[in-house]
Structure 1
């Protein structure tokens, strides 16, 4: 019995030490986990197969955002504000204009502060300011009723925040989460104390206040943001049928599936 108690005590102490180590790693390294932007020199020249215009958009706190505007070859039906995921920069994300320009929409993509050629340091509140600055810039050239807010992965939380505070045509979220803290909890495989998180991105709080249609596209085999976290948003979007699962898709490859393009046709084409 004494041997069993001793072994149990050793196991408990070892588990507790491992747990505290995980908590410490998340506490110290969450910015590096969440914001994986790659910086570009200011003289960097983007190269895409389509024509584009490059702009610098000021945020309210003085950060300068690098932005690319791709115009549709046909008469524009409106514009998509595309808020990308947590990795890379516009050199990686610029090609994402294609599904929208091919359907007759202009597309504005921004790099968040600290990403690419954008200045500043990324934070949750900072990314909200970045999205707001991009949207206000668009409103100088497009009517609100012709602006589609599209958020992918990390950008889905920013998109939901904007939609709750600004008029727009519709909101589309790709591979979203209910709260980013739950994504980290899922990846850690252990319950973590909420007090250690500095960035929350609580999408579930913003969706009920968003006016206009909301559509969610999620992959059935998403390992980064598992489907069950996306599905927590389904009761909040007004029309549960607007939650579409792309069967077989993971986190990064929805566009490789015909079902994804079928949904875009249904949403974007008359």
Structure 2
């Protein structure tokens, strides 16, 4: 009986490790193929290829403001699935409102080389910020991270702090710890619920943000849908509590994961544009 119990424990530990290793890969679901053509929306982005510190080449699209004088530049860190050829749709309306925006792929996504991991994602974010500041817009940048892109955006902000001015950091439906997100995934099923503590042993936070307080005094905005099933709204509430002022938290009633700007006839778009205008005026 003792031997049987020992075998069962060993088996469960192996299963737990495999599941948690899967949690690390759970963060990345890249696709290489082109999923949507922006020319069908009469948009013609500029193709950009950047080299990261590790030598990978990452692909980006730069969409210029459709107004004569741009109001700023938004650097978009997309989520964990597909690639930029679908994610650009989230802000396809922004150039008409006077903003440039740049969306890029992490290593292993779309036309980018390499394989996805936390280090490579942050290096891609840093390369994108450096490119925009040097070649496109020397004014403070707006960093916007959705889902997985949120944690990458926050760490990127720390990496470029003091070198590249930042106007806003906006984090939608995201998390500040890979370990904690892994634990939340384990928590969702009864048969993995007891294994939650192992996420802290297997998953690394080496490339997560070191401290949300360090981002201050750049204004931080957290956005989350109350009905989000991919990343629970409590994640944004925890980040908001940890961050220093200036900060805001918007919880969108019944909002899901990635549909917030399409709800209620685009109501959030106007709210977001007002926020950018307000914070731009305050920073001058």
The normalised TM-score by structure 1 is 0.85
Shift of 1:219: 0.9
What is the rounded CA distance, in whole Å, between the counterparts of 1:173 and 1:154 in structure 2? 10
Q: Is the 8 A contact 1:68 1:110 kept in 2?
A: yes
Aligned counterpart in structure 1 of residue 172 of structure 2, from 149, 171, 174 = 174
Aligned counterpart in structure 2 of residue 239 of structure 1, from 232, 241, 245 = 245
Q: Is the 8 A contact 1:151 1:172 kept in 2?
A: yes
State the Cα deviation string for residues 48-107 of structure 1 (Å, max 9, x = none): 111211111111111001110111110211111000000001121122232422321111
User: Which blocks of at least 5 consecutive residues in structure 2 are unaligned?
Assistant: 188-192, 279-284
Residue 257 of structure 1: aligned partner: 263
What is the rounded CA distance, in whole Å, between the counterparts of 2:84 and 2:183 in structure 1? 28
Shift of 1:116: 0.4
Which shifted more, 188-197 or 113-122? 188-197
Q: Is the 8 A contact 1:67 1:110 kept in 2?
A: yes
User: Which blocks of at least 5 consecutive residues in structure 1 are unaligned?
Assistant: 1-5
Residue 269 of structure 1: aligned partner: 277
2:9 aligned with 1:21: no
2:107 aligned with 1:113: yes
Instruction: Provide the alpha-carbon RMSD of the alignment.
Output: 2.6
What is the rounded CA distance, in whole Å, between the counterparts of 2:19 and 2:241 in structure 1? 34
Aligned counterpart in structure 1 of residue 151 of structure 2, from 157, 164, 173 = 157
Shift of 1:154: 0.4
Residue 27 of structure 2: aligned partner: 34
What is the rounded CA distance, in whole Å, between the counterparts of 1:153 and 1:201 in structure 2? 15
The normalised TM-score by structure 2 is 0.81
2:58 aligned with 1:47: no
Aligned residues: 258
Which shifted more, 132-141 or 158-167? 158-167
2:87 aligned with 1:76: no
Residue 192 of structure 1: aligned partner: 197
Q: Is the 8 A contact 1:183 1:224 kept in 2?
A: no
What is the rounded CA distance, in whole Å, between the counterparts of 1:46 and 1:249 in structure 2? 24
